[in-house]
Each structure stands twice: as structure tokens, then as C-alpha cells.
């Protein structure tokens, strides 16, 4: 029963709630109180403590949801329904905060220049990084999605190839999805680059191993590690950002810049909205719109069309 109850949320959500609850537990233990079952007034005082420290609303919300999760999972009365707790959560939304600074979008020109820089390169490390970059851009992939791809999940056909994505943020019930990507006409073609990566890494198309793994060098040998271990987020970010920075050093770049860049390129090219929303695996219009930076021409169409 315990295992099934934990599966009521995704593993990432359970992990987030668990560590939020542990922080609450450490705080209340020092004050001589009980973490579970928790007193509503103690929870309210904990939130007040977080607000006094200048914590953001997301920290306060995580604390509340972590405490709620721990009580609900054990069938204990939820202390976070108390009016003090609810009002403190609302107060957290209205606290002064620093404005959000979004990462810059990557453009097609940047990727073409990057691939041109390494057009004659056969170094596996470089080709692995370029392949991840191009796939994230062309497939609107989150890092969790691209890092979880296994070799057998790639299916090559005459022109397009497909990626079977069995775990993604918006697929809470693990129904899976398929993303199709066609051949390109530029040096940054995802089809040819992925084929080159398979060839250099000597990857078995039917393998259960992760597609993108750490790489080791030994004398003249450069190869993927034999252990079936996905590339860590920290290392992937370090590699990808350093490659992109060599072309556009002034941009504020993160891994999500590629997903946002691909979505922006599709939206500003007048691709059918329903198709690129499905391609990016977004569940709502609000979520997808946050990724797109409208071009100046599209923004000017508003005043052009009103007929002044």
C-alpha cells in the first residue's frame, strides 16, 4: 500500500515534497515541537519565519505542500487548511521580489554557425554535445526528456526519424509520446548529425542504454562509458552552454534556451499552432506561450490590421 500511495504523485514531486518536509522537521525539532502531526499555529509560525528571512513565494508554497503531502500520505488531518496558513501563503505572493530574468532564446543562425565551426570535427565529445543541442532545439526537448532517451527509442526512417519519449513532465501517467523530426537542408541537420553520433559512438540501435552518457578518454580512444548512466544535468549544462557561448558570448543562456528557441522559431514561421504545441508536448496554451518571443513583424501586425 505504501508503494502505491507514493505513486499518487510523480517521483520528482515526491522528492521535492520530501525535502521541503525535512526542512520543516529540522526547524520545528529545534523549537521543541512535533513535525507530524503538526499544529496549525506552528506551521503558521514557520511560514512567518520564512517570510522574515525574505524567502520567495515558491519556497513558502513548497513548505506548505510538503507538510500537506506528509500528512495526507499518512491519513493525518492536514494543518495547512488553517486560515492563518492560507492567508500567509497569499501574503507570500504579494511580497516585494526581484523581477524574473528569463534566459535568452537560441536562434537558428547561432546553431548553423556552431555546426559550421565543427563541420570537419570527428571528436565524439564535440559531436555528442552538438547532437544534444540540435535535438533539444528541433524536438523542443526538456533536459529530462533528452537525457532519458535510450538508444532503442530512436527510429530512423527514409526521411524523418522519431523519438519515443516515455517520461516527460506533462505525462503524469506515463502514457508516452512520439516526436518526429525531419531531415534539414543546412549543416545543422538533426538527422545527419544524429546518424554521425551513432556511427562515432558505435551505438547499437536496439540497445537499452541511455543515448547520451559520459565520455572517457584513454590514449587515442574516446568512447562512451560502459556503465549505463545518463549524463548529469550539471555536466550537460556545462558542456552545452560553453559550446553556445563560443558563438554568442553575450547571451544569457541555459538548457531551456534551446526548447524556447525552437518554439519561437516555429511560432514566428507561422507553423500551425496546434502542431507545434503537440510537438513541444504542452498541455495548456498558457504554458507554451511563455516560451515564445514574438518577432517584431508579428507584433507590428496588431496595429497594421486595425486600419489606422
For domain 108-295, which architecture applies?
Answer: Orthogonal Bundle (1.10)
Structural domain 2-93, CATH architecture? Orthogonal Bundle (1.10)
Q: How far apart are CA 100 and CA 93, in angstroms?
A: 14
pLDDT in tens, 127-174: 999 999 999 999 989 888 898 999 999 998 887 888 888 776 665 445
pLDDT tens, position by position, 183-211: 888 999 999 999 999 999 999 989 999 99
* pLDDT value, residue 296: 82
Q: What's the pLDDT score for residue 288?
A: 75
The pLDDT tens digits of the residues spanning 24-43 come to 999 999 988 899 899 999 99
The position carrying cell 497594421 is 304
Q: Write down the pTM of the prediction.
A: 0.76
The DSSP line for 232-298 is PHHHHHHHHHHHHHTT-TTS---THHHHHHHHHHHHHTT--HHHHHHHTT-SSHHHHHTT----HHH
Domains of the chain, by residue range, sit at: 2-93, 108-295
Amino acid at each position: 500500500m505504501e508503494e502505491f500511495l507514493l505513486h499518487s504523485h510523480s517521483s520528482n514531486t515526491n522528492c521535492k515534497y520530501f525535502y521541503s518536509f525535512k526542512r520543516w522537521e529540522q526547524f520545528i525539532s529545534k523549537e521543541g515541537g512535533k513535525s507530524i502531526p503538526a499544529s496549525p499555529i506552528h506551521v503558521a509560525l514557520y511560514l512567518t519565519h520564512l517570510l522574515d528571512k525574505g524567502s520567495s513565494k515558491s519556497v513558502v508554497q513548497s513548505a506548505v505542500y510538503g507538510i500537506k503531502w506528509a500528512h495526507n500520505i499518512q491519513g493525518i488531518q492536514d494543518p495547512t487548511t488553517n486560515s492563518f496558513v492560507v492567508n500567509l501563503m497569499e501574503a507570500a505572493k504579494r511580497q516585494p521580489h526581484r523581477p524574473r530574468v528569463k534566459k535568452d532564446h537560441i536562434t537558428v543562425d547561432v546553431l548553423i554557425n556552431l555546426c559550421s565551426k565543427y563541420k570537419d570535427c570527428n571528436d565524439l565529445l564535440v559531436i555528442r554535445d552538438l547532437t544534444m543541442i540540435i535535438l533539444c532545439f528541433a524536438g523542443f526537448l526538456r533536459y529530462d526528456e533528452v537525457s532519458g532517451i535510450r538508444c532503442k527509442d530512436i527510429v530512423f526512417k527514409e526521411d524523418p526519424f522519431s523519438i519515443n519519449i516515455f517520461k516527460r513532465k506533462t505525462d503524469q501517467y506515463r502514457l508516452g509520446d512520439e516526436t518526429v523530426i525531419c531531415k534539414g537542408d543546412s549543416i545543422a541537420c538533426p538527422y545527419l548529425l544524429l546518424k554521425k553520433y551513432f556511427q562515432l559512438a558505435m551505438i547499437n540501435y536496439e540497445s537499452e542504454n541511455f543515448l547520451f552518457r559520459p565520455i572517457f578518454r584513454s590514449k587515442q580512444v574516446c568512447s562512451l562509458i560502459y556503465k549505463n548512466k545518463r549524463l548529469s544535468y550539471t555536466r550537460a549544462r556545462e558542456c552545452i552552454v560553453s559550446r553556445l557561448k563560443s558563438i554568442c558570448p553575450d547571451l544569457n543562456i541555459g538548457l531551456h534556451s534551446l526548447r524556447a528557441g525552437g518554439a519561437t522559431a516555429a511560432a514566428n514561421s507561422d507553423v500551425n499552432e496546434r502542431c507545434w504545441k503537440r510537438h513541444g508536448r504542452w498541455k495548456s496554451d498558457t504554458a507554451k506561450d511563455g516560451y515564445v518571443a514574438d518577432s517584431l513583424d508579428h507584433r507590428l501586425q496588431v496595429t497594421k490590421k486595425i486600419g489606422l
